[in-house]
């Protein structure tokens, strides 16, 4: 929300008074004086007026989990273990998953309470590459490279996938980079060639690479530099 609107919503202020306070340099967001009425206030922002805290700001939380096989990327599930159950953290209900993985897919899973950060990471418009290691049932042919680069038509969504890069590593293994996260996207892309994916592991999402020190099921908070890269 804009700061003038945020201040104008306080019980003792209207929008005009809020603008005056801003012009008089009496407002700080996260410790910095703010005069721009359009400056953004988020649930994580600390807002001060004449040195008094009017919003303390919730801590933004970001975690990297090495998702193991056999758990669902959901916040709750009546049948299966969820990835959130792997986190020993308070207020788990405030967290969400930035880019789900299938039940048996392993690898990098990012979990946060910051919705705009996770949107930047997952929106196709941002074009952040998500890199997967893939193993298949049958041989991967050289023709896959061009087909994936051209994009595949997904009838259910009535769209053509954005260009994806395939690096063939062996007869039945490859590394695939996609910039979207359509439902079962990798499996459906190989499915186009009637080739079943038998192992799928996400190595990275944009600049964020799965920490090799994390064993399956382990997690850690993201470093500030990692958060800011997105």
H/E stretch holding 190: helix 185-191
Contact status: 185 vs ligand URA (CB under 6 A): yes
**CA-based torsion, 100, 158, 121, 207: positive or negative:** positive
Q: How far is the CB of 150 from ligand URA (least distance, A)?
A: 19
Q: What is the tally of helices (H) and strands (E) in the chain?
A: 6, 15
Contact status: 105 vs ligand URA (CB under 6 A): yes
Q: Measured from the CB atom, is 105 or 161 closer to ligand URA?
A: 105
H/E stretch holding 211: none
**Which of 184, 196, 220, 223 forms a contact with ligand URA (CB under 6 A)?**
184
**Which of 98, 101, 128, 134 forms a contact with ligand URA (CB under 6 A)?**
101
Pairing between β-strand 96-98 and β-strand 47-49 as defined by DSSP bridges: unpaired
Contact status: 192 vs ligand URA (CB under 6 A): no
Q: Measured from the CB atom, is 184 or 196 closer to ligand URA?
A: 184
Contact status: 122 vs ligand URA (CB under 6 A): no
Contact status: 97 vs ligand URA (CB under 6 A): no
**Which of 89, 102, 180, 203 forms a contact with ligand URA (CB under 6 A)?**
102
Number of residues located near ligand URA, criterion CB under 6 A: 8
Give the active site residues.
102
107 C-beta neighbours (distance < 10 Å), count: 22
CA separation, residue 165 to residues 126, 150, 162 (Å): 17, 10, 10
Closest among 101, 172, 95 to 137, alpha carbons compared:
172
143 C-beta neighbours (distance < 10 Å), count: 9
**Which of 64, 200, 222, 230 forms a contact with ligand URA (CB under 6 A)?**
200
Binding part of the chain for ligand URA, among 36-44, 138-146, 150-158, 184-192 by CB under 6 A, reads 184-192
Closest among 119, 106, 39 to 69, alpha carbons compared:
106
Which residues of this protein are in contact with ligand URA, per CB under 6 A? 101-102, 105, 184-187, 200
């Amino acid at each position: 929300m804009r700061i003038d609107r945020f201040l104008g919503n306080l019980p003792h202020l209207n929008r005009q008074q809020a603008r005056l306070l801003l012009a008089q340099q009496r407002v700080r967001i996260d410790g910095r004086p703010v005069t721009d009425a359009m400056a953004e206030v988020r649930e994580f922002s600390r807002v001060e007026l004449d040195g008094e805290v009017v919003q303390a700001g919730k801590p933004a939380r970001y975690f990297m989990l090495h998702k193991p096989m056999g758990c669902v990327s959901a916040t709750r599930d009546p049948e299966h273990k969820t990835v959130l159950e792997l986190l020993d953290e308070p207020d788990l209900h405030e967290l969400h998953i930035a880019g789900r993985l299938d039940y048996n897919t392993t690898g990098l899973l990012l979990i946060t309470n910051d919705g705009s950060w996770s949107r930047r990471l997952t929106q196709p418009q941002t074009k952040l590459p998500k890199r997967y290691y893939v193993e298949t049932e049958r041989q991967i042919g050289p023709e896959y490279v061009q087909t994936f680069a051209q994009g595949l038509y997904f009838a259910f969504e009535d769209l053509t996938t954005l260009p994806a890069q395939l690096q063939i590593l062996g007869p039945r293994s490859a590394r695939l980079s996609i910039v979207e996260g359509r439902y079962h996207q990798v499996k459906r892309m190989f499915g186009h060639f009637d080739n079943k994916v038998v192992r799928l592991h996400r190595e990275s999402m944009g600049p964020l690479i799965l920490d090799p020190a994390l064993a399956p099921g382990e997690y850690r908070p993201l470093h500030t530099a990692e958060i800011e890269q997105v």
